[in-house]
Amino acid sequence: MSETLPRAALGTPTPDSAKAGPAVGLTVWRYVIRFFLVLVFALPLLFMLVSSLKPDTQIFGDLDSINAFLPVGDVSLNNYTAVFDRVPFWRFMMNSILITVLTVTLGLIVNSMCAFALARLRFRGQGILLGVILATLIVPFETLALPLLWWVNLLPYFDGSIGWLDTYEVQFVPFIANAFSIYLFYSYFDSIPKELDEAAKVDGAGWFTIYRKIIMPLSGPAIATVAILTFLPAWNQYLWPLMAVQTEELRPVLVGIDYFSQLTTNWGQIMAYASMITVPVLVMFIAFQRAFINSIASSGVKG
């Protein structure tokens, strides 16, 4: 009689139930790995935010316990108010916003036009030119910093003077053209069917019209990727402004951290300052997380 009973009634695992066990285990491990990665990236940020609410003595006293990540003890906003007393925070913030917006906006225009010429036009030495542009990626900026500083000091300024040092222009103009951005645009433009160009030419469109009305409207994922990847280096500029800018009113936010290491180092104020300049970036990435992931997936670099 037992032979006529269903396999499930006898406790014998069915093929579906046999597959379900390993699948559940794999899902659990995936969540464990994700939770671990979240801790790795989130705990330093949590420590920074919590430490910005504590005095230095408590910050160092809590380092050997879980209290280092908890807002307990002598918690206040004194470090934040001290930041505004010690540095012109809003001036630094507005300078960084201006420099970042100009770098991203002009970079999108210049790099996309350069990539359009390389991907859609045909001219002698095209491949060599692309190779030279990509070769610049292996040269670290520290190698170019001093020669670049010498060159910008010889450029004529708008008022007839010589030298761009101590200006807003010197902080974003040298970084508008970017080899990696050009290659991202080039890879995406090269994947768009060239039959669209021929159809537009039949209707009397020129190359600039094709670029502006056909290629760019189809390149939303590439534009989003380049904009986001250009934003972070522009916002995090430190070495170059430190070398090229001496006037306090022109400095970006990251250079302002140096103000807290003068005379005595106040770590609570440093954490408060770092929190204020980090939170806007985190909010932006959380708000545009889906667009960032989709743009990276849609415009991945093609080999």
- Segment 251-257 shows an average pLDDT of 91
Q: CA-to-CA distance for 214 and 183, rounded, in angstroms?
A: 19
Looking at residue 1, what is its pLDDT?
Answer: 46
pLDDT tens digits, one per residue of 35-65: 888 888 888 888 999 999 999 899 998 888 8
Looking at residue 250, what is its pLDDT?
Answer: 92
Give domain status of residue 303, yes or no.
no
Contact of 235 with 281, CB cutoff 8 Å = yes
Same domain, 8 and 115: no
- Segment 83-97 shows an average pLDDT of 92
Q: What per-residue string of b and e applies to 167-193 under the rule 16 or more CB within 10 Å gives b?
A: beebbbbbbbebbbbbbbbbbbbeebe
Looking at residue 303, what is its pLDDT?
Answer: 42
- Which of 60, 80, 100 is where one domain is finished? 80
Give domain status of residue 277, yes or no.
no
For 59, other C-beta atoms within 10 Å of its C-beta total 20
pLDDT at 121 over 50: yes
Give domain status of residue 293, yes or no.
no
Looking at residue 286, what is its pLDDT?
Answer: 74
Looking at residue 126, what is its pLDDT?
Answer: 84
- Domain of 246, in residue numbers: 87-262
Give domain status of residue 153, yes or no.
yes
pLDDT at 291 over 90: no
Contact of 118 with 126, CB cutoff 8 Å = yes
Give domain status of residue 216, yes or no.
yes
Rg (CA), the chain: 27
Give domain status of residue 183, yes or no.
yes
Looking at residue 240, what is its pLDDT?
Answer: 93
Range with the poorest average pLDDT among 72-81, 101-110, 256-265: 256-265
Token readout for 117 is 């010429």
Give domain status of residue 23, yes or no.
yes
Structurally, the chain folds into a number of domains equal to: 2
- Segment 125-141 shows an average pLDDT of 89
Give domain status of residue 278, yes or no.
no
pLDDT at 171 over 90: yes
**pTM listed for this prediction:** 0.81
